[in-house]
Amino acid sequence: MHSEVPPFLTFEPLFKERLWGGRRLETVFGKKLPPGEQIGESWEIVDRPEAQSIVRQGPWRGRTLHELWCEHRAAIFGDDVPDSPRFPILAKILDAQDKLSLQVHPSAAVAPQFGGEPKTEMWYFAAANDGAEIFAGLRSGVTGDHFGRAIRQNEAADLVHRIAVKTGDAFFVPSGRLHAIGGGSLIIEIQQNSDTTFRLSDWGRAAPDGSPRTLHIDEGLRCISFDDFEPEVALPDGETLVQCSQFAVEKWNLEIPRRASERRSFALFVCVNGAVEMDGTRLDTGQFFLVPAVAAASELQPVAPATSVLRITLPSR
């Protein structure tokens, strides 16, 4: 193993207050939240100009993800990762106590028109209350003209497809897919490194100062895939939950130790049930950790019953 590179890396989370957030990141995942705030998002892995993951422990404590990507790319991430200026994945945990806005993210073809970035994402429901649901795509037969008129009159809710979800479900949100998360779910979100979102409706909710929430109806209507009718939850293909050109997400149910990777490439993990041990350190539910390429042969050791992890990787070049 490369003498300088730790066998795994963990990062300091960045907490984001949201109108729809709550405190379950603390009660369920043990995160140390700021007192009194409604925390809706924990940005666990991020390399953006305005937000940066920082190594939280070990000999590389204090280094940023961007430093690792720029200065130690081969050792940490491997030789076959994309040649992008920043780490291509943004990983979050969402505490949706109330429903989120009805929104859309632009595709690579459309994003430059707005000075934005394309965004495809997936959701894993780490916990979902009885009756939890999401809104995604359009009901069969809804046209762009019909939806456009309805959204401007604040009457579009019945035109959006609704899907019941439960703990352990996964859902794919390609760019262009109209969507909103309903209340009552704790979600692990894996997405392209982008923060471009166009909000079409916030269900009449006001901002904290009482003013109407900002909407982006014109931009959003130009981004929606109007042939996207009634999608459903992702059907796993073996261990693979979602695989696309931006990332792959697997779910491993660990009963015995298992190597992080079979090739010389990094793997990003989050423990979704139980706990694992890496190099003598216990990593509990809700903890993200990155296994560097030079440590790909390291093993994840389950140390609690029914341990499972999500494994996030990038497609080979």
| Angle of CA points 195, 114, 106, to nearest 5° | 55
Q: How far apart are CA 149 and CA 137, in angstroms?
A: 17
Beta-bridge partner residues of 17: 39
Question: Which is catalytic among the residues 199, 213, 263, 311?
Answer: 199
Q: Which two tokens stand for residue 307?
A: 């341990």
Q: Which two tokens stand for residue 75?
A: 């050792």
Concerning whether 222 is annotated as a catalytic residue, the answer is no
Q: How far apart are CA 3 and CA 12, in angstroms?
A: 24
Classify the phi-psi angles of 310: left when phi > 0, otherwise alpha if psi is within -120 to 50, otherwise beta: beta
Q: DSSP letters of 200-230?
A: EE-TTPBPTTSPBPP--HHHHHHH--TT-B-
Of 173, 51, 54, 42, give the one whose Cα is nearest residue 105. 173
Q: DSSP letters of 90-105?
A: EEEEEEESSPPPEEE-
Residue at token pair 């423990």: 271
Q: How far apart are CA 185 and CA 133, in angstroms?
A: 8
Q: How far apart are CA 198 and CA 267, in angstroms?
A: 31
Other Cβ atoms closer than 10 A to 63: 17
Beta-bridge partner residues of 312: 249, 268
The residues assigned a catalytic role are: 199
